Amino acid sequence: MGATEGPKGTIKHDDHDVMIIGAFENPNISSEISDAAARRFADMYGSCAGIDCVYEPDVKFSRWRKLLYNASYNSIATIMRMDTARMRVSEHVIDDLIKPIMLEIRAAAAAAGVDLPMELVDAMIFADTFEAFFKPSMMQDIEKV
């Protein structure tokens, strides 16, 4: 869900709610029970207007895909106090910081048995529209302090 806080307590929803639900492996619970619970939750949550909630059988892939963006852009934006558009203007921020972090995450995912295609790294770098001057959530949090 895209959201930013303007004046204290004023939340602007920049995008609609998108949730991807899946069952994680738990040796104490059968995959059939976990799967059914995840599907049930996705059906209930997704029945609300304005919400896209989908069941994802390969939730590991979705989690690692999300980490490509969150672990790189969130931390670098917060440290450098730069929105994603300004980072993209600087080839050094992308080439020397963002992309290497994404490649580390890709390697960690591979070690965990999840293949993140290289094209996905490039897609994540350009995920935010340039005109949005988007500030990742961690940066928004630090600006409140």
Residue 135 lies in a domain: yes
Domain shared by 22 and 47, yes or no: yes
In eight-state DSSP terms, residue 21 is E
Domain shared by 62 and 31, yes or no: no
User: Averaged over 86-101, what is the pLDDT?
Assistant: 92
Q: Higher-confidence residue: 82 or 14?
A: 82
Torsion, CA 5, CA 10, CA 52, CA 45, rounded to 10: 120
What pTM, to 2 d.p., does this model score? 0.79
Lowest mean pLDDT among 8-17, 19-28, 29-38: 8-17
Domain shared by 80 and 47, yes or no: no
Looking at residue 3, what is its pLDDT? 66
Residue 99 lies in a domain: yes
Residue 98 lies in a domain: yes
Domain shared by 83 and 20, yes or no: no
Instruction: Tell me which residue range forms the domain holding 16.
Output: 6-57
CA distance 76 to 126: 15
Confidence of residue 16 (pLDDT cuts 50, 70, 90): low
Tally of domains in the chain: 2
pLDDT > 70: what percent of the chain?
93
